[in-house]
Structure 1
C-alpha cells in the first residue's frame, strides 16, 4: 500500500473530505500505476477517485469503536519519532 495513505478513522477532529479524497487519489494512483492519467484515461480515473472517496466516506461514517479518539498532533509526533529512529545513521 502507498505510504502516503494515512489512517483516517478514530481521530478528533474527524477526517475531512479533503483528506478522504487525497487518500482515494493515492489509492487509485497505486491501483492504476498512473500518477497522472493520459487524456484517454482521465475520465475513468476521475470517476474511480470519486467512487473510492464515496466508499471511504461511507465506511468511516459506519465504523464504530470504544477506543478513545486519537489526537492528530500526538500521532504526527509519534510518526516523526519513528522516522528519525528508522532513518538516522
Structure 2
C-alpha cells in the first residue's frame, strides 16, 4: 500500500509536485485504511491529501544538507538490486 512513499529529499532534479502528492495520497490511504474513500468520507480524505501534500512540500524544500544530490536512476538501480537479493 505504501510503495509510492519514497525519499524525496536531496535529488536532482528536485521532487515534483506529482511525486509529493502521490506520496501524500499513499500516506492518507495508510492512515485511513481506505484505498478509495466512500462518498461520505471523500471530502475529508481529499482535504487530508491537500494538507499532507502542503506539509510535505514545505518540509522537503526547507531541509538542508551538505551531501551532493542523489541521482534517481542510480537509486532506482540500487533499489532493484536490494529487491532481487531479498526476494531471490
Fold conserved (TM > 0.5)? Answer: yes
Output the CA distance in 1 between the equivalents of 2:4 and 2:87: 17
2:32 matches 1:28:
no
| Deviations 1:5-53, CA, capped at 9 Å, x for gaps | 1000000000000000000000000000000000000000000000000
Output the CA distance in 2 between the equivalents of 1:18 and 1:2: 16
Aligned residue pair count: 88
Runs (4 or more) in structure 1 with deviation over 6 Å come to none
Please give the residue correspondences for 1:1-89 in structure 2 after superposition, counting only pairs within 5 Å: 2-88=2-88
SS at match of 2:39: coil
Unaligned runs of 5+ in 2: none
Unaligned runs of 5+ in 1: none
